[in-house]
Amino acid sequence: MTPLVRAIAVAAPLPSLGDNTGDLDRLKKVLAPQLGGGMPVVPYQRLSKVAVRFRAAGFAGAAIINDMAGTPVLVDFLSQPPKVLAGMALDLGTTHLEATLLDLSTGAVLARADLENGQIRFGADILTRIHHAAKDEGLAELHAAIIDSVNQLATELAGRAGLAAVSEIRALSVSGNTSMVHFFLKLNPCHLCREPYIPMVNAPDPCLAGELGLAIHPAAVVWLLPSVGSYFGGDLISGVLASGLDQQPETCMLIDVGTNAEVIVGNREWLIACAGAAGPALEGGVARMGMRAGPGAIEHVRIDPTTGEIGYETIGKGKPKGLCGSGLIDLVAELYLTRQIDIRGKFRPQAAGERLIAGSEGYRFVVVEGKDAADGQPVVLGQVDLDALMRSKAAMY
């Protein structure tokens, strides 16, 4: 497998009246046999830098070659081969970023680090961010926030690995869910949240770090693991590759629980996958009374099958403010077990009794009355919330 970036040692014959080809042509010619005979491409913005550095190094040293979707791209020239050829592997999570710095010459791990995703201030869940991206400067803000987080993480990694500068990182591979990849590339994912849930792109071509405003080397290749579909991103593909699920003779299951959760079942002959909201995506994004798992969040619910009385526990034991993900799942399960909702997730008024109130947006089920709640507002679950939960948890590719 060709690494994303390579340093290839070369020593070219010196120019003379009898051998007066151009500096860059000289370098390409001496590189071609080491690249399987093909000439590398030099992007315009790197042309002058490569040629000047090649000459300054006395026409010998190390050429830096990116692999851009199979095409060798010549982006830099160093007088000496670099001690390490640092590449960053990044997991672009909705809530957290995780990264590993590797020496691509040897495969050795140089450092690891993680960081909270700076986009959280625009919404804990992806749907809120997709809606934010539709606003005037929304997409630019989300893009700037994620690039800033990646830059912080890269700087942290460079420091831990003892690199002289973050710009010594010369490659970046990114795995993330489809929406995160859109934000990272400053693409508007507005069609991702409406049926039929279409991304702008699943498999973007590699680009250079400078084009995205990244702090790593401006000519570092940025490669993104391809997404499969609307909510099956490169992060899931990474999981399949890392676990070897697609090579197994036995049928296995891969569960990736993040802000969104994905499940893949399959073997070397077939794979089937489904995805749904989890964590903050479920808590904040699906139900209007949903909230992150903090003080005042209902996390357990029991409904007495005989009396219909509702028992609950809140985080911190205080008065309830809303429902976190676990509380929401508990509540819906208990409502189903006590037959207050049917198998399609619809309220059954004859069973739910007086806690069910009909309104302009359909039924609302009062979990906690206003007098018992933290801020005097009842904690309720509407038919709308139930429908959203069903859709979210049943999402399937």
Decide: is 48 part of the binding site for a second copy (CB under 8 A).
yes
Decide: is 134 part of the binding site for a second copy (CB under 8 A).
no
Tokens encoding 156: 């942290």
Decide: is 270 part of the binding site for a second copy (CB under 8 A).
no
Strands (E), the chain: 5-11, 60-68, 71-78, 86-92, 96-103, 109-116, 169-176, 207-208, 221-224, 252-257, 260-266, 271-277, 297-303, 310-314, 322-323, 356-359, 362-368, 379-382
| 132-146 burial code (b ≥16 CB/10 A, e <16) | bbeeeebbebbbbbb
Q: Smallest distance, Å, CB 226 to a second copy? A: 9
Decide: is 173 part of the binding site for a second copy (CB under 8 A).
no
Q: Which is nearer to a second copy, 24 or 356 (CB)?
A: 24
N- to C-terminal Cα separation, the chain:
30
Rounded to whole angstroms, the Cα distance separating 166 from 172 reads 12
Largest CA distance in the chain: 101
Decide: is 44 part of the binding site for a second copy (CB under 8 A).
yes
Q: Which is nearer to a second copy, 231 or 347 (CB)?
A: 231
Per DSSP, the residues of 106-171 read T--EEEEEEEE-GGGGG-SSHHHHHHHHTSTTHHHHHHHHHHHHHHHHHHHHHHHHT-S-GGGEEE
Per the listing, tokens 């403010």 go with 321
Decide: is 229 part of the binding site for a second copy (CB under 8 A).
yes
Decide: is 185 part of the binding site for a second copy (CB under 8 A).
yes
User: Restricting to residues 312-341, which ones interact with a second copy according to CB under 8 A?
Assistant: none
Decide: is 60 part of the binding site for a second copy (CB under 8 A).
no
The residues, any chain, with a CB within 8 Å of residue 67's CB and separated by 6 or more, are 2, 3, 4, 5, 6, 73, 221
Decide: is 164 part of the binding site for a second copy (CB under 8 A).
no
Window 186-225: contact mask with a second copy (x via CB under 8 A)? xxx--x---xxxxxxxxxxx-xx--xx-------------
Decide: is 15 part of the binding site for a second copy (CB under 8 A).
yes
The single residue among 11, 52, 109, 357 that binds a second copy, judged by CB under 8 A, is 52
Rounded to whole angstroms, the Cα distance separating 96 from 75 reads 31
Decide: is 47 part of the binding site for a second copy (CB under 8 A).
yes
Tell me the β-bridge partners of 55. none
Instruction: Please identify, among the stretches 2-10, 50-58, 99-107, 169-177, the one whose residues bind a second copy according to the rule CB under 8 A.
Output: 50-58
Decide: is 136 part of the binding site for a second copy (CB under 8 A).
no
How many residues touch a second copy under the rule CB under 8 A: the total is 44
What's phi and psi for 194, nearest 5 deg? -125, 140
Per the listing, tokens 């299951």 go with 253
Q: Smallest distance, Å, CB 132 to a second copy? A: 17
Q: Which is nearer to a second copy, 185 or 332 (CB)?
A: 185
The single residue among 9, 11, 13, 71 that binds a second copy, judged by CB under 8 A, is 71
The single residue among 11, 13, 45, 135 that binds a second copy, judged by CB under 8 A, is 45
Q: Smallest distance, Å, CB 154 to a second copy? A: 19
Tokens encoding 232: 């099956």
Q: Smallest distance, Å, CB 86 to a second copy? A: 22
Binding site for a second copy (CB under 8 A): 15-17, 20-25, 41-45, 47-48, 51-52, 55, 69, 71, 185-188, 191, 195-205, 207-208, 211-212, 227, 229-230
